[in-house]
Amino acid sequence: MFLTHHSGCGFAIIFPNGWLVSVFWGEGSYSSNYDSHVMMPTELSGDSWTAACVKLGEAGAKVVEIAVKNPEGEIVDMDGYEGDPEGYCTPAKFVALLTYAAMQPAKA
């Protein structure tokens, strides 16, 4: 299942095994546009909110923040990021984390 973040600058994938990979970028995230100074859509409403989401989403990022969550909803410690998303991930790291989550056994 694919989900979009409410901010418009990220998405999540939930695998049949219950594991989730969340990808996020934008102001305040551990991404290449951490200090983008774009007003977050949560501070806006109506057409302004939609325009801000489009602007953030189109801006993209060279590196992003990624969280891997187990079926219990806990962020999995990947590379020493205890309880926090992993920051500044490259596309190659994204594929590695995606593969990791997809290959975990389903909870019995």
Which pairing describes strands 20-24 and 86-89: parallel, antiparallel, or unpaired? unpaired
Q: How many CB atoms lie within 10 A of CB 19?
A: 22
What pLDDT shows up at residue 12?
Answer: 93
Could you tell me what percentage of the chain is helix, strand and coil, using 3-state DSSP and rounding each to the nearest 5?
A: 30, 20, 50
Question: How high is the pLDDT of residue 71?
Answer: 95
| Residue that the structure tokens 């859509």 belong to | 41
Question: Over its length of 108 residues, how does the chain's per-residue pLDDT go in tens digits?
Answer: 988 876 667 889 999 999 999 998 877 788 877 666 555 555 555 566 556 656 665 666 789 999 999 999 999 987 766 678 888 999 999 999 999 999 999 987
Residue 103 one-letter amino acid: M
Return d(Cα 56, Cα 41) in angstroms, integer. Answer: 9
Which tokens sit at 44?
A: 């806006």
Q: Are 49 and 39 in contact (CB under 8 A)?
A: no
Whether the full predicted model's pTM is greater than 0.85, yes or no, is no
99 neighbors 67 (Cβ within 8 angstroms): no
- pLDDT at position 7, please? 63
